[in-house]
Structures are given as structure tokens and as C-alpha cells.
């Protein structure tokens, strides 16, 4: 997963920040498959996890019991690939890349899941920290990973989620190095966005979360901090994937990390004040 080099400019995604959500989804449907950070600026991106109906109650309860990593934005009816969050969207085709899981094992990373779809799948769309990065940037907090052209760093922690039925697993966090004078602002601004992970779960020594080496994230890219930066950790929407890995439901589909579903919702509508 880790890419240590900066991404070269890609003409296929030039001005992707100005795309409408509709246009972004159409491009992904046509085969564009890269990360979505910064695409369709101002529009809410979401994590996807789809499980058989037999597992849907456990997943919904897992999300309710772990709202910081798993804030639910929408749940579909069984078999449906539409969502109230995006007019005309098809959840089987409109993400850049998917992951297909069998008994907790990653078996494929296709760019659509039409041939994998099942009539009993219930899809969960879960808030994503890309939304609060907009608020942090607006508030003047530098985003080191964006400055460095990288995906955010994500880590599996030693902190266990509260289990729900057959589902259990560790909390996954994203980390952003924050300059000391911006830490209070970062905490305040993200606290106003509880639907997209809310305030951080931890600041400082990564050992407290069981993270041994910030330079070796479990998902995403390593990000180089500036001197004096404090590592700040937010609960991450990859957590349901970690629960799939740990709990081994017979079948699941998720987005590929960093390749999110772009909704029609506006980021600011999730701000509580």
C-alpha cells in the first residue's frame, strides 16, 4: 500500500477539484481508478462497506457502538445500489476501486463490482476525514500530506472497538502532523463535525495507541512531519475493513483505501454549528 514517492502530475485528473460529484462519478464509472483526495471540492466523500443482509444488523450496531470511526451517513435497502446521498449514482460502478473480501481475506481489487453484486447486500456509507480536511484547511491548519502530495497515513491501533454480535476488530486511525500553535484549532474544528469522525481520539506519543513506527503506516503513505509538529490521530473509516478482516464475514465489498464514494452532499451540511 505504501508509496514513498510523490505523485507525478496526472493530466487525467487535472482540475478534478472543480468537477461536480456527478462528473467525478461518471469518470470513475468509465474507468478512472486513483485516489479521490481533493476531488469535487466541498462535496462529502464516503467510505463504503457492503455486507450480506444476515450481517447488516451486526454492522449497523457496530457502527452505532463505535460512532467515531464509523459515523453512518446512509444505509441502503438490501440489494439496492442507490443512495439518497447521490442522485442517479450506482454504488457498484461509481467508486474508483473496490475491495472484495471472502471470509476476511482480500480476494480482488476491481474497478467495478457489477459481477460480484448479490441481491442480499446492504451497503453502509460512512463519513470520511476528507470532509474535515476542508474545514482544517479553511481554518489555516496546514495539511502535511497534501503539501507532500501523499495519501494520509493510517494505522491499526491496539485499541479495540466495542464489539457488536459477530463483529469485532481494532480501531484504525488517520494521523496528521499538526504544528503546536494549530492543535487547539484542529481539535475545535473537527469537533464540530461529529458525522465525519469528530475531534481526534489521541494526540502525541504514538506508543499510546500501540503504533510502533509512524514512518510505516498500515494504509496510505508515510508523511514527513516538520520539526515540533505533534502527531494528531483521528478515528478512521477504514475501521470497518479492519472489522471485516478480524471477524471474517463470508462476503463483503468495500472501497479501496483513499478511493472514496463522492456524494452530492456538501461538507458544510455536516457541521453542527
Summarize as ranges the residues that interact with a second copy (CB under 8 A): 56-57, 60-61, 64-65, 72, 75, 188, 191-192, 194, 198, 272-273
Closest to 180 measured CA to CA, from 221, 136, 220, 227: 227
∠ CA 175-70-139, rounded to 5°: 45
Q: Is the dihedral angle over the CA atoms 117, 123, 129, 130 positive or is it negative?
A: positive
Helix (H) or strand (E) holding 240: helix 239-247
Shortest Å, Cβ 72 to a second copy: 5
How far apart are the C-alpha atoms of 66 and 165, rounded to whole Å?
Answer: 13
Q: Output 40 or 63, the one with its CB closest to a second copy.
A: 63
Q: Output 83 or 241, the one with its CB closest to a second copy.
A: 83
Helix (H) or strand (E) holding 64: helix 53-65
Q: Output 75 or 146, the one with its CB closest to a second copy.
A: 75
In this structure, the number of other CB atoms found within 10 A of the CB of residue 97 comes to 19
Q: Output 14 or 77, the one with its CB closest to a second copy.
A: 77
Q: Output 61 or 246, the one with its CB closest to a second copy.
A: 61
Shortest Å, Cβ 70 to a second copy: 11
Counting DSSP H helices and E strands in the chain, the numbers are 6, 11
How far apart are the C-alpha atoms of 67 and 41, rounded to whole Å?
Answer: 25
Shortest Å, Cβ 39 to a second copy: 26
Shortest Å, Cβ 107 to a second copy: 27
Q: Output 35 or 199, the one with its CB closest to a second copy.
A: 199
**What CA–CA distances, in Å, run from 137 to 61, 106, 194, 235?**
33, 34, 17, 19
Helix (H) or strand (E) holding 98: strand 98-102
CB contact set of 107 (below 8 Å; sequence gap of 6+): 100, 101
Q: Output 177 or 199, the one with its CB closest to a second copy.
A: 199
Shortest Å, Cβ 64 to a second copy: 5
Shortest Å, Cβ 166 to a second copy: 12
Q: Output 148 or 185, the one with its CB closest to a second copy.
A: 185
Shortest Å, Cβ 191 to a second copy: 5
Shortest Å, Cβ 103 to a second copy: 23
Q: Indicate the SS3 state at residue 110.
A: coil
Closest to 237 measured CA to CA, from 186, 171, 178: 171
Closest to 240 measured CA to CA, from 175, 177, 154: 154
Amino acid at each position: 500500500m505504501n508509496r514513498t514517492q510523490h505523485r507525478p502530475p496526472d493530466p487525467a485528473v487535472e482540475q478534478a477539484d472543480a468537477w461536480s460529484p456527478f462528473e467525478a462519478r461518471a469518470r470513475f464509472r468509465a474507468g478512472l481508478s486513483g485516489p479521490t483526495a481533493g476531488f469535487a471540492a466541498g462535496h462529502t466523500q464516503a467510505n463504503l462497506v457492503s455486507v450480506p443482509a444476515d450481517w447488516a444488523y451486526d454492522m449497523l450496531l457496530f457502527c452505532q457502538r463505535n460512532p467515531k470511526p464509523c459515523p453512518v451517513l446512509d444505509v441502503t435497502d438490501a440489494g439496492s445500489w442507490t443512495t439518497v446521498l447521490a442522485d442517479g449514482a450506482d454504488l457498484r460502478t461509481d467508486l474508483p476501486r473496490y475491495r472484495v473480501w471472502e471470509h476476511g481475506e482480500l480476494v480482488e481489487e476491481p474497478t467495478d463490482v457489477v459481477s460480484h453484486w448479490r441481491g442480499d447486500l446492504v451497503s453502509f456509507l460512512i463519513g470520511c476525514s476528507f470532509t474535515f480536511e476542508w474545514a482544517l484547511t479553511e481554518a489555516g491548519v496546514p495539511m502535511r500530506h497534501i503539501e507532500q502530495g501523499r495519501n494520509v497515513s493510517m494505522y491499526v491501533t491496539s485499541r479495540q472497538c466495542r464489539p457488536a454480535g459477530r463483529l469485532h476488530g481494532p480501531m484504525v486511525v488517520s494521523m496528521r502532523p499538526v504544528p503546536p500553535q494549530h492543535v487547539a484549532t484542529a481539535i475545535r474544528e473537527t469537533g464540530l463535525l461529529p458525522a465525519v469522525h469528530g475531534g481526534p481520539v489521541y494526540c502525541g506519543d504514538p506508543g499510546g495507541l500501540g503504533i510502533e513506527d509512524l514512518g510505516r503506516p498500515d494504509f496510505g503513505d508515510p508523511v514527513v512531519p516538520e520539526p515540533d509538529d505533534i502527531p494528531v490521530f483521528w478515528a478512521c473509516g477504514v475501521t470497518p475493513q479492519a472489522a471485516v478482516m478480524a471477524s471474517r464475514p463470508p462476503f463483503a465489498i468495500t472501497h479501496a483505501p483513499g478511493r472514496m464514494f463522492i456524494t452530492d452532499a456538501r461538507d458544510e451540511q455536516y457541521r453542527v454549528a
